[in-house]
Structure 1
Amino acid sequence: MTPDDLVLSPRGLRFQNRVFPCSIGRGGISAHKREGDGATPTGTHRIVGMLFRPDRMARPTDWAVPIRPGDLWSDDPEDEDYNMMVRAPYTPSHERLRRADPLYDLVILTDWNWPYAVPGRGSAIFIHRWRRPGFPTEGCIGLNPTHLLWIAKRIKFKTRLIVR
Structure 2
Amino acid sequence: MKGVIGKKGFTKSKKEGDGKSPVGIYSFGTAFGSETKPDGLKMDYRKTTKYDYWIDDQSSQDYNKWKTYKGDPDQKWKSFEKMNHELYKYGAVINYNTNPIVKGKGSAIFLHVWRGETKPTAGCVATAEKNVLDLLKWLDPAQKPHIIMGTEESLKPVK
| Aligned residues with identical type, % of pairs | 28
- Counterpart CA distance in 2 for 1:127 and 1:22 is 10
Q: Does 1:36 align with 2:17?
A: yes
Aligned partner of 1:52 in structure 2 is 33
Give the strand-richer structure, 1 or 2. Answer: 1
Instruction: Report the RMSD for the aligned CA atoms in angstroms.
Output: 1.3
In the alignment, what sits opposite 1:145? 129
State the match for 2:2 in structure 1. Answer: 21
* TM-score, scaled relative to structure 1: 0.81
Residue in structure 2 matched with residue 95 of structure 1 by the alignment: 81
SS at 2:138 equivalent: coil
8 Å CA contact 1:22–1:141 kept in 2: the answer is yes
Counterpart code for 2:38: R
Compute the TM-score of the two structures, normalised by the length of structure 2: 0.84
- Aligned-pair CA distance for 1:135: 0.7
8 Å contact from structure 1 (residues 113, 124) kept in 2: no
Runs of 4+ aligned residues of structure 1 deviating over 6 Å after TM superposition are: none
Segments of structure 2 that go 5 or more residues without pairing to the other structure are: 151-159
Alignment-derived partner of residue 91 in structure 2: 107
Question: Of 119, 139, 142, which aligns to 1:155?
Answer: 139
| 2:4–2:126 CA contact under 8 A, matched in 1 | yes
| SS of equivalent residue, structure 2 residue 132 | helix
Larger proportion of helix:
2
Q: Is the 8 A contact 2:50 2:82 kept in 1?
A: no
